[in-house]
Amino acid sequence: MKISDRQIDAFLRAPDPAIRAVLLFGPDTGKIKEFSDRLGHTVLPSFDDPFRLADLTGAQLRDDPARLADEAAALSLTGGRRLIRVRDVGDGNAEIFQNMLETVQGDCLVLAEAGTLAAGSKLRKLFESARNAAAIACYADEERDLRSLVRTHLQQAKIRCGDDVIAFLADHLGADRLLTRMELDKLILYIGEGGTASLEEARQAIGDNAALRLDDIVFAMAEGDPEALDRALVRARAEGMNFQPVLRAAQQHLRVLHLASNLVAGGQSIDAAFKAAGFRGALWKVSDRLARQLRGWPANRLSEAMNRLVEAEMQCKTTGLPADAITGQTLLGIALSARNRSRGGARA
């Protein structure tokens, strides 16, 4: 079953009891986590119950293909439904999930969390077509949804603000749901619960700095400028930037490039294509730069680069190696590839 955007909220509040597994996929890993948590809490009030929760990874299932079916069939010693969360899944797990969906008997809920999956993905097709499974795509918030998210988050802290503040926040946030909430929490802490936020205070709390630092990084990567990228990464490290949002911002930027490329090929103008693709920011300021990036990135190379970023995020979560080192090496590798292509011809 494919859950449409308008069905998501109702499904997250009360998922169909016939559904035994839900696939959450897409570039917005913050939204994936939020949706997964909300679905999980329909089964478990707390994720601290070891008898009713199994927390696995796609790699563990590939090493032990029977593990998922065993967990799905197991009964809780304390009673109640069991929740099984499987993180970092991919097409390599498709057959394992298919076997589980065909044989599952217990009253469990399985939540599978993936990165970006193409429309032809085996795993995505399985969950979209199975009668006892569902798939939810998690893309960056559209402008209307983002403004609603910002307004609701601030209202919950009893923060009052004008439409100009909401517009500013929506323009400078949104690449990742988790990062958006973190930045809004900074504003709430800055203003104080129950206070009133002015536009100037919003700028001071989250400022343009975080957005500009991310822009410096992702634009240098996409333009094949490893020297500028290295300088931007050094500044980010010195300022204590969390490198998981950097990877997500890079994924989002390449996804926008990919969508815009298809739209331009279909006859749309550069500005119209990037607006439709979900580019956030002052488009008029960077339109020429985005056009150059499009010329330097064939669609197949964009897909390869997005896969490298997804793999880097998985390494940050699973290897124990420093996230900033993994992020820096991956982004610099992508930038060098882009520069080599520009020197040898855009289609190299």
> What's residue 212's pLDDT?
57
Listed residue (310, 309, 297, 303) closest to 337, CA to CA: 297
Tally Cβ neighbours within 10 Å of residue 239.
10
Is 50 exceeded by the pLDDT of residue 2?
yes
Over 90: is that where the pLDDT of 48 sits? Answer: no
Tokens of 17: 């009891």
pLDDT single digits (tens) 299-322? 889 989 999 998 998 888 788 788
| This model's pTM is above 0.85 | no
Residue 192, CA distances (Å) to 154, 178, 188, 196, 271 in order = 11, 21, 6, 8, 39
Query: Domains plus CATH for the chain?
Result: 5-137 (3.40.50.300), 143-205 (1.10.8.60), 209-339 (1.20.272.10)
275, 297 Cβ separation under 8 angstroms: no
pLDDT at 345 over 70: no
Cα 232 to chain centroid, rounded: 22
pLDDT tens digits, 102-155: 998 778 999 999 988 888 899 999 999 999 999 999 876 666 778 888 999 999
Distance CA 25, CA 37 (A): 14
CA dist., res. 187 & res. 207, Å (int): 10
Stronger pLDDT, 33 or 173, i.e. the higher one: 33
Q: What is the pLDDT of residue 239?
A: 64
Q: Angle at Cα 18 formed by Cα 16 and Cα 19, nearest 5°? A: 70
Burial class (CB in 10 A: 0-12, 13-18, 19+), 106: middle
User: Given this model, what pLDDT does residue 211 score?
Assistant: 57
Q: Is the pLDDT of residue 94 over 80?
A: yes
- Per-residue pLDDT tens over the stretch 251-264: 889 999 999 998 99
pLDDT at 330: 96
Q: How many CB atoms lie within 10 A of CB 251?
A: 28
Instruction: Specify the pLDDT at position 347.
Output: 43
Confidence of residue 346 (pLDDT cuts 50, 70, 90): very low
